[in-house]
Amino acid sequence: MKKYGILLLFVIFFTALQGQESEEHVSEGPERGTLLLIGGNASDSLFLPEFQDLVGGPHQPVVVIPTARSEGAIDGEDFLYRHKQRFKAHGFTRVTMLHTRERSEADDPDFVQPLREAAGVWFMGGRQWRLVDAYMNTLTHQALKEVLARGGVIAGSSAGATIQGSYLVRGDTQTNTIMMGDHQKGLAFLENAAVDQHLLARNRHFDMFEVLRHRPELLGLGLDENTGIVVRHNTFRVVGESYVAIYDRTRWSAERDTVYPLQPDQQQFYFLQEGQRYDLQKRRVIQPDE
């Protein structure tokens, strides 16, 4: 009996460990608030109205963060003014441009004050590691989380989409062709997920497997240009003109309404398009009648 008792304890222990591991590997969005992730080359006429609708209208305060761009670009003539006017041209009346390279400034309460009042934040494209260097684990990072906690919106295109995942693909400071570079942690508004962009336009649709070979627990999302996802808690819907690739260790056939589990050595994915929805926690497509 003693032997069986010890065996039972081992079973309970390892079951608990497996349960803990599975919880750590659950993909999910924010408990409150909304994410908008766009795969680059975003059409203002499509996505700025979408952003405006999500934040609650043209008179809500929004913050635009251009930090992913190079310093040369941001220092260019009228850069901040021109991009502020982009938003105003689509009806936004309260737009603040927020940028620093200095972590000490990112930790300054006066710097983050616009985020305390913002209904939405928009990350511009560029190189995602610049956002990590400036804002990761600072007061600004915390204020961004608080935007979501009070029901606000965080949006971004290209680098501004990738930075929202927990794993940072193409985060190398030398080149954007290295998938697993010298920066591998994102701001993690989307947990246990890796987000790539410019997918089909740049023939990147097999690149995600380099990451998943080393980090198989991650959910991979590949966003094509002018296409994105709107994430609310644990589900998202696709918006835009092209496709989102799903790397979840299955292959879903819409035609057959069938999910095919994949073997570890099978490098397959499937596409979702405008209006289709996905359950992040269960890692499956949500059918129209659900």
Q: Where are the domains of the chain?
A: 29-286
Q: What are phi and psi of 36, to 5 degrees?
A: -125, 115
pLDDT at 24: 65
Beta carbons within 8 Å of 237's beta carbon, 6+ residues apart: 229, 230, 275, 276, 277, 278
* The residue to which tokens 């010890």 are assigned: 6
CATH architecture entry for 29-286: 3-Layer(aba) Sandwich (3.40)
pLDDT at 76: 85
CA contacts within 13 A on the Cβ side of 225: 9
Alpha carbons 49 and 205: distance in angstroms, whole number: 28
Which of 3-12, 181-190, 255-264 is most confident? 181-190
pLDDT at 23: 52
DSSP string, 143-155: HHHHHHHTT-EEE
pLDDT at 19: 47
Q: Between residues 276 and 14, which one has the greater pLDDT?
A: 276
In tens, the pLDDT along 13-63 reads: 444 444 444 456 899 999 999 999 999 999 999 999 999 999 999 999 999
pLDDT range class, residue 135, cuts 50, 70, 90: very high
- pLDDT for 233 beyond 50: yes
Contact of 167 with 218, CB cutoff 8 Å: yes
Q: pTM of this prediction?
A: 0.91
Contact of 199 with 245, CB cutoff 8 Å: yes
Average pLDDT for residues 194-208, to the nearest whole number?
98
- pLDDT for 10 beyond 60: no
Number of DSSP helices (H) and strands (E) in the chain, helices first: 10, 16
Q: Where are the alpha helices (DSSP H) in the chain?
A: 2-24, 44-55, 71-74, 79-89, 103-106, 109-117, 128-135, 139-149, 159-162, 208-214
Any long-range contacts for 4-7 (C-beta under 8 Å, 24+ apart)?
none
Residue 100: CB atoms within 10 Å = 17
In tens, the pLDDT along 86-117 reads: 999 999 999 999 999 999 999 999 999 999 99
